[in-house]
Amino acid sequence: MQLDVAELRRITEKLVGFLEASNVNHVKIDMDYYWNIPVAEKYDIYNKPANFDIGQISDDWQELVDMSSSEDDPILYNFVWLASVLRAVGEIDPSMLLKQSDRENS
């Protein structure tokens, strides 16, 4: 599989645009810690993962915020942190997200 970077940008912008068009200016994520499967086991679908560690969405987000305001160049691993944050956003109950939007705009 090969991803087109321009298409990845368009997809990301469309999804963020969807939140903005829904008047969602902030996203409240109630969960924080999550199970993480090390990459060596994550994509080996023929063997059940045995090694798990714990990730933290708030820590991932802080790393991204720090990266964003840093003069240093991003690194590829920043996508891992972004993925955990985006997954958490995607897993929010849509009705709760709209309620958050309604409260913000009241």
CB atoms within 10 A of CB 97: 16
Q: Looking at residue 99, what is its pLDDT?
A: 65
Which helix (H) or strand (E) segment holds residue 56: the answer is strand 53-56
The answer to the question of residue 41 being in a domain is yes
pLDDT digits (tens, 9 = 90+) for 40-78: 999 999 999 999 999 999 999 999 999 999 999 999 999
Residue 21 lies in a domain: no
The rounded distance, in Å, linking the Cα atoms of 31 and 58 is 9
Q: Tell me the C-alpha distance between 103 and 25, whole Å.
A: 11
Residue 99 belongs to a domain: no
Q: Does the pLDDT of residue 85 top 70, yes or no?
A: yes
10 belongs to a structural domain: no
Per the domain annotation, does 59 fall within a domain?
yes
Q: 62 is in which domain, residue-wise?
A: 32-90
pLDDT digits (tens, 9 = 90+) for 30-40: 999 999 999 99
2 part of a folded domain: no
The residue behind tokens 């705009």 is: 105
The total number of structural domains in the chain stands at: 1
Q: Within a domain: residue 8?
A: no
